Amino acid sequence: MEDQRTRRGENRRGPPFLRLPWWFWLGYAGVKVWFLTIPAGAVLLLVAWLGADWPGGLRWAALGVGCLLLLSFPAAAALFVFQTIDATAYRRLLDRDETLEGLHLPAGSRVHFAHKDHADVVAIDLPGVTEIKGMRLTGTLRRFAPNWNCVLAEDQILDGFPCRRGIAVFDAGGVIQKFTLAAAHALLGLQLPPLTMVERGNDTRPWILILPPDAGVQVPAFATTAPPGVTLYVAADGQLVGIGSGHGQEIVIRGIPLDSREMQLRGERVVARLAWAFSLAGAMRPAGTEVEVDLPTGEVSVSGK
C-alpha cells in the first residue's frame, strides 16, 4: 500500500524531466531563446545597478537572475565550440585526389567518418560537380551500405536510363539503383512517362515504379490505364505483381471501378474493393465491396456472395 501511494505521488509530480531544478530550466531558456534572455538579463542588471534602493533582497535577486540569464549563453557557446572541435576528429579534408571506399575523390572533398580513427566513411562533401564512376555528381554523398545516396548534377544517361538531375542512389559497383526519369522510357513492357521514380529490382525483388502525379501508364495486363500517382510492382520478367496507392485513385479493370489502395494480384486474378457503388451480379453493390476479377475471362465474383 505504501509503495502504491508513493508511486501515485510520483505520478502527480509528473515525468522525471519536469522535476529538474529551476536553474536548469533558466539555463535552457537562456540558450533556446537567447535573443530574448540576453536583452532581459542586461535590463535586469542595469535596473538593479542604477535603480533606487529596493525593499528586502529584490535588488540582489534581480542581479542574480540577470547574471544567470547572461551567463547561460556563453556557457552554451563554449559547449558548442568544444563540440565543433571534437567533431573535426571525425572528418578529413583531402589535399589531393584519393580513392576511398572504391570512389575516386578529388582534392577538396571533405570526408566524414563514423570513428575518430577514420574508419567507416559515412558521408562525403564534394567540392563541386565531380565525375564518379561515370556519373556527374554534386553536393553530399551519404553511405547507406551497400549503397550511396547522391545528387545527380544534371540530366544524364546512366546504364541506358535517362536519369533526371536530383536525388538518386547507386551501389558499390556504380550501378544506378534509384532515380527519376528525365524523359519517357520503355521499361519491362511499360511506356513510362517522365518523372516516374524507379527503384531497380532483381530476380527476387520486383522493380518499384512510382508514377508522377500528372500522368498514368497503359498496363497491358489490365488492358487499362493505371492512374497518375500509383505505385507499380513489376517482376524482372515484366509480370505485374502488385499495385498500390495511398491516395485511393480509381482504376477501371474490365469496366469495373476499383480502389487502388488495397489491390492484390493473385496470379491472373485481381482482388480489390469497389471505388464507388456499382452494379454486379444483378445487384447494386456499395463502395468498398470486395470483388475478384479474372483477367483472362473478365469474370467477376463478389466476396461473401
pLDDT per residue as tens digits for the range 221-263: 777 888 888 899 999 988 888 888 767 778 888 888 888 877 8
Closest listed residue to residue 174, CA positions, set 146, 195, 144, 209:
146
Q: pLDDT higher for 74 or 90?
A: 90
Asked if pLDDT for residue 2 goes beyond 60, the answer is no
Separation of alpha carbons 252 and 71, rounded Å: 67
Pair 268, 253: CB distance under 8 Å:
no
Q: pLDDT higher for 166 or 68?
A: 166
Q: Note the pLDDT of residue 234.
A: 92
User: Model confidence over 30-42: pLDDT tens digits?
Assistant: 666 666 666 777 7
Q: Note the pLDDT of residue 35.
A: 65
Mean of pLDDT over the chain: 82
- The percentage of the chain sitting over the pLDDT mark of 90, rounded to a whole number, equals 40
Closest listed residue to residue 251, CA positions, set 209, 283, 207, 218:
218
Asked if pLDDT for residue 148 goes beyond 90, the answer is yes
Closest listed residue to residue 165, CA positions, set 154, 156, 157, 181:
154
- Highest mean pLDDT: which range of 98-112, 217-231, 285-299: 98-112
253-258 contact pairs (CB < 8 A, 24+): 253/222, 253/223, 253/224, 253/293, 253/295, 254/223, 254/293, 254/295, 254/298, 254/300, 256/280, 256/291, 256/293, 256/300, 258/291, 258/293
CA 220 to chain centroid, in Å, comes to 32
102 class by beta-carbon count within 10 Å (0-12 exposed, 13-18 middle, 19+ buried): exposed
Give the mean pLDDT of 95-104.
94
Q: Note the pLDDT of residue 221.
A: 76
Give me the amino acid identity at 272: A
Q: Note the pLDDT of residue 3.
A: 53
Separation of alpha carbons 281 and 284, rounded Å: 8
Can you give the pTM of this predicted structure? 0.68
Q: Look up residue 90 and give its DSSP letter.
A: G
